[in-house]
Amino acid sequence: MKEWDDIEIEFLENNWENLSDEEIGSILNRSNKGVFMKRQRRGLVDKDKQYMQGEEYKKIMSESIKKMFKKRPELRENLSRKLRDYHHKHPEILKKGHFKIGQTAGKKHWNWKGGINDYRDTIRRSAKYLKWRKNVFERDNFTCQICYSFVGDKNAHHIIPFSECLILGIKEEIFNLDNGITLCCGCHHEIHKKNKD
């Protein structure tokens, strides 16, 4: 990205009140975001147009965040977790009319199925399950057994699916080392996608 020269800055300072960021950007061959950020840094903010600029900023940030999430999907999960934790610590910031914490949780949630996930979650958080997962990773040398990738996050995949082990009553297969295989997130997603079809 090239630096702004004195002529461009002078043009921006003289015309920011009469022209939109988009118009200035097309004249100077700059992006809307670049014009907006430069204007903000130089303190070129009209108090009467503060709300409009806030909406413009939201639009620009929304687009850049969407691009970032597309490139790195794990960031969306991390952000969601942090926001959830923040809202639990500061419930007063939730606006009137928004869902309150606990309002749609558990039996009150529209997709409630009688608490069947509680047992699954209990197993997945147990020391025995975590040890099984670690042993699967160590046996496979932390390498995906489909694409042989050894970088990035890995999943311990059940060959006989976890849910089927519970339904069929063969709970011992959940912790059977031979029923586990190390997969990268991409291959794990593809396997579950194929199983749904």
Q: Going residue by residue through the chain (197 aa), what tens digit of pLDDT does each one get?
A: 578 888 888 888 888 778 888 888 888 888 888 888 888 788 787 654 444 445 665 666 677 677 777 777 777 777 777 777 776 776 665 554 455 556 667 777 777 766 666 677 888 888 999 999 999 999 999 999 988 888 888 999 999 888 888 888 888 889 999 999 999 988 998 888 877 65
What burial class does residue 155 get, using C-beta atoms within 10 Å of its C-beta: 0-12 exposed, 13-18 middle, 19+ buried?
buried
Phi first, then psi, for residue 48 (nearest 5°) are -70, -25
Could you tell me the pTM of the whole model? 0.43
Dump the DSSP string for 61-77: HHHHHHHHHHH-THHHH
Alpha carbon 22 to chain centroid, angstroms: 29
